[in-house]
Amino acid sequence: MKKILTILAISFSALMASSVSTAAPHDKQDRSRGWDHPRHQESNKNRDFREDDDDERMQDKRRGREERGVKRLQQHKWQTGYVMPQHYRGNGYKVDYKNLDLPKPSRNQQWYKINNDYILVDSDSHNIVQIKGF
């Protein structure tokens, strides 16, 4: 048994040593051809990048998409049997039923508050079980 373990340890060490040696650069010429090459750095100096106007326009587009997404989520109509989107499954939407006079959830169920609606969700399948609007 000792011989087998010794042979396995030696072969594993040899395998690790060979994989480390193949990962190292072969010579100095390979490293000088990469991104650190002086000629490559000079060509990037004169390159014209995005103007500030383009950056502001991109930010405006992104802001508009985010606002449309928030409005769409606020208008979402919940129905029993639907699967609750993953976005709403976080702790920020969970509520305590005792403080809000909601019925006690069964095992593996949780109340969530989304857009002034209280939604009872099955924790395993994420199916909507009940909806209470206040």
Higher confidence at residue 97 or residue 72? 97
Q: Where are the alpha helices (DSSP H) in the chain?
A: 2-23, 28-32, 38-45, 52-74
pLDDT in tens, 96-105: 999 888 999 9
Is the pTM here over 0.85, yes or no?
Answer: no
Q: What is the pLDDT of residues 30-45, one digit of tens each?
A: 554 555 555 555 555 5
User: Is 90 exceeded by the pLDDT of residue 125?
Assistant: yes
pLDDT above 70: residue 75: no
Cα angle 68, 73, 77 (rounded to 5 degrees) comes to: 135
Q: Say if CB 104 and CB 97 are below 8 A apart.
A: yes
Residues spanned by the domain of 99:
80-134
Is 60 a domain residue?
A: no
CATH number of 121's domain: 3.10.450.160
Q: Is residue 119 part of a domain?
A: yes
Amino acid at 80: T
| Per-residue model confidence as pLDDT tens digits over 78-90 | 888 989 888 888 8
Structural domains counted in the chain = 1
What are 30's two structure tokens?
Answer: 């390979």
Q: Distance (Å, rounded) from C-alpha 15 to C-alpha 17?
A: 5
